[in-house]
Amino acid sequence: MLVGVPTEIKPQEFRVGLTPEAAREYIASGHQVIVQSGAGLGIDKSDDDYRAIGAEIVDSAEEVFARADMVVKVKEPQPNEWVQLREGQILFTYLHLAPDPDQAKGLMDAGVSAVAYETVTGPGGGLPLLAPMSEVAGRLSIEAGAHALRASNGGRGTLMGGVPGVLPAKVVVLGGGVVGTQAARMAVGLGAYVEIFDKSLPRLRQLDEMFQGRASTRYSTAGTIEQALAEADVVIGAVLIPGASAPHLVPREDLKLMKNRAVLVDVAIDQGGCFETSKPTTHENPTYEVDGIIHYCVANMPGAVPLTSSYALNNATLPFGLALANKGIAACDEDPHLKPGLNVHQGKIVNEAVAESLGF
**Active site residues per annotation:** 96, 270
202-211 LR contacts (CB < 8 Å, sep 24+): 203/176, 203/177, 204/176, 207/176, 207/181, 210/181, 211/184
- CA-nearest of 54, 50, 48 to 32 is 54
DSSP secondary structure of 324-339: HHHHGGGHHHH-TTTG
State how far the Cα of 262 lies from the Cα of 293, in Å rounded to an integer.
5
**Order of all β-strands in the sheet with 216-219:** 216-219, 193-198, 170-174, 234-237, 263-266, 293-296, 287-290
Is 35 in contact with 23 (CB distance < 8 Å)?
A: yes
Residue 123 CB: number of other CB atoms within 10 A? 8
Q: Are the CB atoms for 267 and 298 separated by under 8 Å?
A: no
Give the C-alpha separation, 266 to 278, whole Å: 7
> In terms of Cα–Cα distance, which of 69, 80, 143 is closest to 106?
80
- Measured in whole angstroms, the distance separating CA 340 from the mean position of its chain's CA atoms is 17
For 27-63, letters b (16+ CB in 10 Å) and e give: eeeebbbbbbbebbebbebebebbeebebebbeebeb
Q: Are 61 and 6 in contact (CB under 8 A)?
A: yes
Cβ neighbours of residue 152 closer than 8 Å, sequence gap 6 or more: none
- C-beta separation of 119 from 144 below 8 A: no
